[in-house]
Every structure is written in C-alpha cells, then in structure tokens.
Chain A
Amino acid sequence: MARALRVRVDHTRCVGNATCTTIAPGVFKLNDDRQSEAINSVGEPEEIILKAAENCPVSAIRVEDAATGERLF
C-alpha cells in the first residue's frame, strides 16, 4: 500500500507556471486565477508527485506524509 500524502500549494508563491499540471495532471489542476490546486493527492504515484514538487520553479509545492507529518518536499 502506498502511503497517504498531504499535498499543498502555497498561493502566495505559485506563479501558474503549470509545470506541476504537466508532470502530475492527476493531482494538480489550475483554478480560475490560473494557480495550481492539489485536488487529488492519490492521483499519481508518490515519485511523480515529488517530481512535480521538485520542478516547481518557485518551490510552491509542499508534500508531507499524511500519517507522520514528515516533510517529503
């Protein structure tokens, strides 16, 4: 069983670059302001979610282990 993740996008940072929605479309979606929302934290495998977080150009994505709160990105 894959562990449960908590994925959040910091809207004070997100510039709507849409890299996360390209890399992990099952998790991230742009809202009406063209900023990213994490709509489904099980929409992609963990490694894809971490790849999206790493590729955010402004480090707006935070990923945690939902059970332990450990910061994964």
Chain B
Amino acid sequence: MATTIHDDLFAPDVIADPYGYFGRLRAEDPVHWNAKYEVWVLTRYDDIVWLIRHPELFSSEVFKRDPRPPYPPIPEADVEMYGFVREFFADFFIQHDRPSHTEMRMVTHSYFTPRAMEAWRPMVRAAIKDLLDDAEAKGQMDVMQDFATPLPVLVIARMLGLPEQDRRFIRELAQKLLFIGRGDLNRMRPLTDGIKGLADYLSPLIKERLAHPGDDLLSVLASGETRGAFSRDEVVANAVLLLLAGHETTINLICNGTLALIRHPEQWALLQASSGLAVSATEECLRYDPPVKSLQRIAAEDVELRGNVLRKLDRARWFIPSANRDPAKFPEPDRFDITRDPNPHVAFGSGIHHCLGATLARVEGQEAFSALVDRFPALHLTTEELEYQPSITFRSLKALPVTWN
C-alpha cells in the first residue's frame, strides 16, 4: 500500500476533519486496505459509484454475511445483545440483495415519489414553524436537540399514521436507536431497548392496519405481507427502518447544512436574498458536509479494482465525504457554493439502494434552511468548540448551540 497514512478511522483528528484524512487517501491510495479494521476503504467518486452500482459484485447483506465482530468493539458481555440487533437489522430491506430487495422496496417505493412528497411540503413547513416558534420564545437553541432531532420523527410518524398522543413516546424510543451509528462502547443496551420498545409498540398497530387498511404509510407497508413480499417480522422491522433511516440522517443534514451556511456568511446572505436557491443550497449542503459518512458492502466474489484484488467476503466501505469532494468530479470541491450546478453528489448513495426517502429529506432540508434564514437573519454560534460523534457511519455534531440576538 503506497501510503504512510495511519489506519485509525476513529482518531480524534479524523473524526474532527474527515476531509483531510480521506482526501489524502483519495490522492495517495484510493483503494486502501485498512489492516486495523480489516476493511477496504474507497475514496474516489468514480470507484464508489461503480461499486454501488454493481450490487451483484458487492452485497448489501452485511449483517447476514459478515461474521466479524462489530467495530468499534463492544464489551464481551454485550455480544448476545449484538446477536439480537444483528438479526433484527438483517430483515431491513436496505440489508437485502436482489431479488428480495426489489420486491420489498417496491412495497413502499410509490409512496415516496417526488410528486407525492411535494404534497407533504405544507405539513413539513407547519412542523418547522411550530418548532421554531418554541425556540424563538427562548431566544436561543441547540439546533440539534430543539429543531433537527424532533422534526424528522414528527414528519415520518405523521406519514405512518401513528397517533398524535404517542409522539413523545416514539421520540424517546427513536432517540435510543440513534446509538446505532454513534460508536459508543455501551451502545447495545439502548439499541436493544429501542428496537424492542418500537417493535412492541408497532406490532398491534400493524395487525390493525392489516385488518382495516387505511391510506397511511404503515398500511402501505403492511400490505407487503398480504402480497407476499414480507413476513410479519419483516413488516415490523421495516417499519422500524422507516423511523430510523430518516432520523440521524436528516438531523445531520439540518445541523451540518446550518453550520456550513453560518460559516459562509456570503452564502447565507445569498440564500436570504433569493429563496429560489433553497433547492440548490440543500444539494450543496448534502455535498459539502454529507450526513452519512460511510457505508459498507461485502464482496460477493473476488473483484479486481485498481490493481487490488478484493476477495470474496472482504468488507468494502465507501466514503461519501471524499467522493463529494473529489476534484476529478467537482470543480473547486472545497468551496461551499449554494448555486453549484450540476451537483451529482452521492449523499443519498446510488444504484438500487439509492435513498428511498431522498425527496422527503430534500423537502425537509429546503424548508428548514429557508425558515432559518428567514426568521433568524442574525443567527450565529454561541461557541466555536463543536464536537462530532465518534462514528464512521454518520457525520454527526454533538450539539449546535446558536442564538440570534
């Protein structure tokens, strides 16, 4: 391996600034064998798009096929809980290959069309207004806790048709599931509790929807059982997936995007002056500091790439931040430019697993950024000491405290 770069993906400097570390790998050793974690690290835009568009070579069935222990490691005593978590997650359709992936995804795919999501925009806008009204009354907020964390759960719970009075309860359980990507040593306990709590909560509702289908998303999902795409356990697991997949990700879009806008006052001013830029601004936020840092595949057979041989069952991780800043694809990649066009970033992945909720997330981002510049023109940080979760899956701030006075 033609590089002197260390392999500690969780080192504080790598967590603080993934662009430096993965940018160097992209330049020096774009298909890098990370011996410490026994994983191939891919950092070039073209390689990544090629890899994720060849699902027959690189399987998504990571929980099912990868016998190695989780990383970062967990205590010995939690291994049993990990077994449970792993089995539950293996039912997510994001973790399936064809043909079952297609069958499962098609159950809810039509619910999320660009046209259908546009119809939810007024609801998203109203939810944002409520949250920002509360914040405004306080004079300051943690964008993370007070705004970005509740929003996606409010929206998806409404789509699923979950009762309003259960919101607080759902939020608490959903928060436990956030531990999946947060590299915390003791993450298995909250994860297990979150999964069990949500599964217990959702099961009777799913049964009810099967008997009396409505037009909500939970009914649509449950209809997958009627048509043979899902078992009951799989319906329950994938209802949890819909709650989970859009949570940490949308939080990070809002927080990372808000931070990028704050740090580039001329771009903030530009967005403020022309609300028509909300669409391209959201795309640039997704490119510049993407919510998802990396995802994994398992080689389904021996594959050659740039002179390396990835052996069957080898793990391969693709790093979105470095793909999105690849100078071979994006002119002036380190420049934050909310008018950038074209902007073919891979924040939502690509190929058959391209994010099911992409249009919804875009609507949430557009509405959130528009509302912030509109209501809080003087928004600024109350501290420069920002910290990130020690995760290689997500690019998650721990907090984003701001004020506007």
**Residues in A lying within 8 Å of B, measured CB to CB:** 12, 15-19, 22, 33-34, 54-55, 57-59
Q: Contact between A55 and B110 (Cβ–Cβ < 8 Å)?
A: yes
Q: Are B109 and A55 in contact (CB under 8 A)?
A: yes
Asked if B267 CB lies within 8 Å of chain A CBs, one says no
The reply to whether A12 and B342 contact each other, CB–CB distance below 8 Å, is: yes
**Residues of chain A lying within 8 A (CB to CB) of residue B53:** 16, 33-34
Q: Which of A16, A22, A57, A58 contacts B106 (CB 8 A)?
A: A22
User: Taking A12-B342, A22-B102, A34-B54 as contacts, is the C-beta distance between A57 and B114 under 8 angstroms?
Assistant: yes
* A18 x B109 contact (CB < 8 A): no
Residues of chain A within 8 A of B355, CB atoms compared: 57
Indicate if B213 sits at the interface (CB-CB under 8 A): no
Using A22-B102, A34-B54, A55-B113 as known contacts, say yes or no to A12 and B352 having CB atoms under 8 A apart: no
Q: List 12 A-B contacts (CB under 8 A).
A: A15-B348, A15-B354, A16-B351, A16-B352, A17-B352, A17-B354, A18-B352, A55-B110, A57-B354, A57-B358, A57-B359, A59-B114
Q: For window 67-115 of chain B, which residues contact chain A by CB distance below 8 Å?
A: 102, 106, 109-110, 112-115
- The residues of B with any CB-CB pair to A shorter than 8 Å are 53-54, 102, 106, 109-110, 112-115, 342, 344, 348, 350-352, 354-356, 358-359
Query: Apart from A16-B351, A57-B358, what are 16 other A-B pairs with CB-CB below 8 Å?
Result: A12-B342, A12-B344, A15-B348, A15-B350, A15-B354, A17-B351, A19-B109, A22-B102, A22-B106, A33-B53, A54-B113, A55-B110, A57-B109, A57-B112, A57-B114, A57-B356
Determine whether the beta carbon of A18 is less than 8 Å from that of B342.
no
CA of A19 to CA of B356, assembled, Å? 11
A16-B53, A54-B115, A57-B358 known; A34 vs B351 contact (CB < 8 Å) = yes
- Whose C-beta in chain A lies nearest to the C-beta of B352? A18
How many interface contacts (CB-CB < 8 Å) are there between A and B?
Answer: 42
Shortest beta-carbon contacts, A-B, top 7: A34-B53, A17-B354, A15-B350, A15-B354, A16-B351, A16-B53, A59-B114
Q: Can you name the residue of chain A whose Cβ is closest to the Cβ of B98?
A: A18
CA of A6 to CA of B128, assembled, Å: 41
Q: Which residues of B contact A15 (CB under 8 A)?
A: 348, 350-351, 354
Q: Which residues of A contact B102 (CB under 8 A)?
A: 18, 22
Among residues of A, the one whose C-beta sits closest to the C-beta of B355 is: A57
- B53, B54, B342 — which one has the most chain A CB atoms within 10 A of its CB? B53
Is B112 a contact partner of A18 (Cβ separation < 8 A)? no
What CA separation (Å) do A59 and B354 show in the bound complex? 13
If over half of A's interface residues share one DSSP class (helix, strand or loop), that class is named, otherwise mixed; here it is: loop
Q: Which A residues are in CB contact (< 8 Å) with B115? A: 54
User: Which residues does chain A contribute within 8 Å of B344, judged by CB atoms?
Assistant: 12
Closest B residue by C-beta to A12: B342
In the assembly, what is the distance between CA of A15 and CA of B350, in Å? 5
Residues of A within 8 A of B350 (CB): 15-16
B74 to chain A, nearest CB (A): 34
B344 nearest in chain A by CB position: A12
Closest approach, in angstroms, between the C-beta of A66 and any C-beta of chain B?
23
CB neighbours (8 Å) of A34 from chain B are: 53-54, 351
A56 to B: closest C-beta gap in Å: 8
A33 neighbours in B (Cβ, 8 Å): 53
Q: Within the complex, which residue of A18, A22, A55 is in contact with B351, where a contact is CB–CB below 8 Å?
A: A18
Interfacial chain B residues near A19, Cβ < 8 Å: 109
Q: Report the minimum CB–CB distance from B33 to chain A (whole Å).
A: 26
The answer for the CA separation of A16 and B51 in the assembled complex, in Å, is 12
Which chain B residue has the least Cβ–Cβ distance from A23?
Answer: B106
* Distance to closest chain B CB from A34 (angstroms): 4
Inside 8 A of A59's CB, which chain B residues have their CB?
A: 114
Smallest Cβ-Cβ distance to B117: which chain A residue: A57
Alpha-carbon gap, A19 to B113, bound state (A): 11
Chain A nearest CB from B348 CB (Å) reads 8
Nearest CB of chain B from residue A32's CB, rounded to whole Å: 10
Chain A residue at minimum C-beta to C-beta distance from B53: A34
